[in-house]
Amino acid sequence: MPGREIVSSIIEKSSDEMRDRHPPLNAMLCFVSAARTLNFSRSAEDLCVTRSAISRQIRGLEEFLGLQLFERCNKNLALTSAGKQYFEAIAPLFVELKAATDRLVTGRAEQSFRLNVSATFNAMWLMSRLSSLEALSPGFSISFITNNVDASYPALDLGGSMDAAIRLGRGDWQDCLFDKLFDIPIQIMGAPKLIGRTTPFENLESLAEYDWLHYKHLPDLWPQWLAAAGVPELKSKKRNIILDNVAVASQAAADGLGLIPMYMPLTAPLIADGRVACAHSFAMLKEESYYLLYPKNYAQNPATVFFRNWLLQEANAPESVHP
């Protein structure tokens, strides 16, 4: 019937216009979760739906946009350039949506902050300073997403699963804002009871008389330090002991098991307690420095601004760099 055809045409036209204005919210939420995890099954668990539901929502969003958001190859999932651009644009919106809901329901937005940081930096530098952060803002809640070791370029999900990250690097990130915290001089450290003194040796060859401790994930650190000190051929006359994480290696050095190169800004607690001392005065400056990274569109986020200002103040304190 002509009248029915006209009504149908109007409804279809209205639906097309509505679709142009409003992308499907559930599909966008599924996309953001899948883009963070790059795993439909894990996203399904996070959102308490089935994997097929995630897949349907993503497919529907791709049809709505007329763009492919993911590249699917066997069991691997990766964002296309369009998917990456869309994720970076909309992921922060869901964080803002939650904050707006919190403000409406509770009268204020929760002052929480999620920081991605290495377990080494967290344990040896950051944790001892958090009491001053608490004193400044008792309502500020910080949660940690930790990496086992320091690494220059682990995956970043700024504005998504993390609000900011602390990274080793050279200040050449393109997709975020960053501030240098401090450079990293490296010196050879040992327990005073091992080396029998609290002042450094003048002679580099004296280091060879002791066991040397090595970090498993930094096999080149000793050779790099020795080369920079001008004695690339120097070797320990005793044992070379390899330890699989920084905490164990630092404890071994403090217990007198041997000498080890240490990041000086992270060594302050051990020096202050008299547990380690410099075995030689030469300091090699590491090519990478510690940086705070945060999203470009979150520079004015209150939690980010507060944490950034506090962290830079702590990092610039004289004792932070020169323990």
Give the pLDDT confidence of 66-92 residue by residue, as tens digits: 999 998 877 678 888 888 888 777 876
In this prediction, residue 111 carries a pLDDT of: 61
- Is there a single domain that holds both residue 49 and residue 165? no
Percent of the chain with pLDDT over 70: 84
Q: Determine the angle formed by the axes of helices 25-37 and 81-106, rounding to 10 degrees.
A: 110
Domain boundary among 55, 82, 103: 103
CA-to-CA distance for 35 and 286, rounded, in angstroms?
34
Please indicate, yes or no, whether the overall pTM of this predicted structure exceeds 0.85.
Answer: no
Mean pLDDT computed over every residue of the chain? 83
Whether the Cβ atoms of residue 42 and residue 54 lie closer than 8 Å to each other: no
Whether the Cβ atoms of residue 203 and residue 229 lie closer than 8 Å to each other: no
- Is there a single domain that holds both residue 81 and residue 146? no
Q: Report whether pLDDT(7) > 50.
A: no
Domain count, the chain: 3
Q: What is the mean pLDDT of residues 146-166?
A: 73
Which value, in Å, is the radius of gyration of the alpha carbons in the chain?
26
Q: Report whether pLDDT(18) > 50.
A: no
Q: What is the mean pLDDT of residues 285-302?
A: 85
- Is there a single domain that holds both residue 89 and residue 229? no
pLDDT, tens only, 224-247:
999 999 999 999 999 999 998 888
Alpha carbons within 13 A on the beta-carbon side of 294? 22
Evaluated on CA atoms 290, 296, 300, 302, the torsion sign reads negative
- The CATH number of the domain where 149 resides is what? 3.40.190.10
- Is there a single domain that holds both residue 149 and residue 292? yes
Burial of residue 150, with CB atoms counted within 10 A of its CB: 0-12 exposed, 13-18 middle, 19 or more buried: buried
- Is there a single domain that holds both residue 152 and residue 297? yes
- Is there a single domain that holds both residue 98 and residue 67? yes
- Is there a single domain that holds both residue 81 and residue 155? no
In this prediction, residue 261 carries a pLDDT of: 97
- The CATH number of the domain where 6 resides is what? 1.10.10.10
Q: What is the mean pLDDT of residues 170-189?
A: 92
- Is there a single domain that holds both residue 56 and residue 195? no
CA-to-CA distance for 226 and 221, rounded, in angstroms?
9
- Is there a single domain that holds both residue 49 and residue 81? yes
Whether the Cβ atoms of residue 259 and residue 212 lie closer than 8 Å to each other: yes
Domain boundary among 71, 103, 135: 103
Domain boundary among 69, 103, 137: 103
- Is there a single domain that holds both residue 32 and residue 47? yes
Give how far the C-alpha of residue 36 lies from the chain's centroid of Cα atoms, to the nearest Å: 14
Q: Name residues whose C-beta falls within 8 Å of residue 240's C-beta, 6 or more positions apart in sequence.
A: 211, 212, 214
- Is there a single domain that holds both residue 221 and residue 273? yes
Range of the structural domain that residue 95 is part of: 2-103
- Is there a single domain that holds both residue 47 and residue 80? yes
Confidence grade of residue 8 (pLDDT, cut at 50, 70, 90): very low
- Which of 117-126, 162-171, 291-300 has the lowest average pLDDT? 291-300
